[in-house]
Amino acid sequence: MSRKNLTIGLFGFGCVGYGLYEVLHKTPGLQTTIKKICVKNPEKQRPISAGNFTFDKNAILSDPEINVVVELIDDADAAFEIVSEAMKKGKAIVSANKKMIAEHFQELLELQQEFGVPLLYEAACCASIPIIRNLEEYYDTDLLQSFEGIVNGSTNYILSKTFAEGLSYRSALEQAQENGYVETDPTLDIQGTDAKYKLLLLLVHAFGQIVKPEQIFNFGIDRISDLDLKFAKENGYKIKMVAQAFKNEDQTVSCFVLPKFVKPGDKLFGVDDVFNGLITQNNFSDTQFFVGKGAGAFPTASAVLSDLSALTYDYKYEYKKLNQNKRLPLNNEFKMEVFISSKEASTTIISTFFERVLGAYRGEEESYIRGVIKFQQLQKLLHHRPCVSIILFEVVPELESFSKQHRNAQPYFLPVS
């Protein structure tokens, strides 16, 4: 099959945009040309000639020679306007904007179908890991049982620095910002919103599930306390922010984003710095593990490059699982073992939400409870105690599946240290 030539209109020339420009110039065999780059700030100094730039989006959108629009801006609303207009004009799209795609997924899907143009977004999820195309092409929805992983390199960098170098959360966040690993609005990363958008995209290609962002529970790392870190270090754990989705026996799907204690020997334990890691669980091939850099200019640009290469062969997502007409409903009725810490000394009110308390600590100014809780009760607890920190141990579909040791354990209370 012969490869088609791509004439690109690029929106955005920040960290990833410049990374893509550099990568394309080092990949001459791809048969691509960036004809024009649209940016919004005419005063900003840029490392390439001013003749490459325009400040008018129509210079790209109305140019019949441009057959591909690469969208790399950080304004989701403006991005959707650009992308939808470009698709209506018959231009293929490559985007790294997980917020824009997640918030407008149904509309973008309909635009692809109506105008027959591809929208590729490998760079919107896990950067250098080709996970979306693997989920789309390799796994049948009846074979894939679950996936779990670190999908946000920024928070993984922050957490890695707190464990490896003993940095405070604030210092690690500042270092991540200096290195360009954090979104313009860092709350998107640290509160788990960015990971939620990526989880939404993974659900589409893993299970054929279209959900809205507000249907996915996310809880970030911004409330992790010194008590949480102390507990993790004393037990040899690390804390990772994990996105997780799994099929239940009744053919429903459950999903969430939460910080999680990861033990030595677990596949995600060694995934540090800006790396992402994703574990898939399958009926016949057991587990598979994907790992790669999840933040930074060149890892993200490499995913954009991969999508551009696919477009030269007229590749588009077929949404195979979505078209199997076997939609799996969301299920929030599952149980999990969690560690909940609070600045309050009392654990009495919090304990009323648990099905079983497995351990607790009461200090003079802070406390924690470890136990089994229903997911819906966890959400209620957050409504009543919005400032607590939550860290996952594991999902427990049925309390009876707990070990005998857990079932018979009596709550224990550690003395004030």
Active site members: 198
Residue 156 parent element (H or E): helix 153-164
3-state secondary structure of 69: strand
The residue type found at 267 is K
Beta bridge partners of 54: 38
Give the containing element (helix H, strand E) for 376.
Answer: helix 375-384
- Alpha-carbon distance of 335 to 29, in angstroms, equals 52
**What whole-number distance in Å separates Cα of residue 96 and Cα of residue 298?**
13
Look at strands 253-262 and 217-218 and give their pairing. parallel
Residues 6+ apart with CB under 8 A from 17: 10, 37, 72
Sign of the Cα pseudo-torsion (113, 117, 122, 124, in order): negative
249 burial (CB, 10 Å; 0-12 / 13-18 / 19+) is: exposed
Contact 221, 259 (CB under 8 A): yes
Can you give the length of the chain in residues? 417
Token pair recorded at residue 332? 């929030």
